[in-house]
């Protein structure tokens, strides 16, 4: 499982251009990055984001929706990751419903 997580994290970094490429995340923190993902990359992103979200939930003490405090700024990243995961799931579902034509 650790090997798969490391491989998935590598795919995420690669798609972000942070695997030794030209992207320097410290040069401009407001830089917009456009990321195009195939199904393999999207699944790696989903597994990686899910793992990060689970760690955040544990650290924030979120065990169910009742423990989530929407106005608490500490939950911003947790919510953002959930939003991104939902987008990935929706995109993959659309792709399965309407596969690209050859």
Q: Is 80 helix (H, G, I), strand (E, B) or coil?
A: helix
For 38-61, the pLDDT digits (tens) are 999 999 999 999 999 999 888 888
| Helix and strand counts by DSSP (H, E) for the chain | 3, 0
pLDDT digits (tens, 9 = 90+) for 81-96: 999 999 999 988 887 6
Domain residue ranges in the chain: 2-97
State the pLDDT at residue 97.
66
Spatial distance between the Cα atoms of 92 and 38, rounded to a whole number of angstroms:
9
pLDDT band at 21 (very low <50, low <70, confident <90, very high): low
Mean pLDDT of 14-35: 72
Q: Which residue has the higher pLDDT, 68 or 85?
A: 85
The answer to whether the CB of 17 falls within 8 A of the CB of 41 is no
Round to whole Å and give the CA distance between 96 and 90: 10
For residues 6-11, average pLDDT: 94
- For helices 39-60 and 76-97, the axis angle rounded to 10 degrees is 150
Please work out, in degrees rounded to the nearest 5, the angle formed at the alpha carbon of residue 97 by the alpha carbons of 51 and 91.
Answer: 35
> CA–CA separation, 24 vs 48, rounded Å?
21
């Amino acid at each position: 499982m650790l090997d798969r997580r490391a491989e998935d994290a590598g795919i995420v970094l690669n798609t972000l251009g942070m695997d030794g490429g030209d992207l320097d995340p410290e040069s401009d923190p407001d830089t917009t990055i456009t990321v195009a993902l195939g199904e393999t990359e999207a699944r790696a992103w989903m597994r990686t984001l899910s793992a990060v979200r689970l760690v955040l939930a544990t650290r924030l003490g979120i065990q169910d929706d009742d423990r989530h405090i929407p106005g608490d700024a500490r939950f911003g990243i947790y919510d953002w990751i959930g939003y991104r995961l939902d987008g990935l799931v929706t995109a993959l579902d659309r792709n399965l419903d309407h596969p690209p034509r050859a």
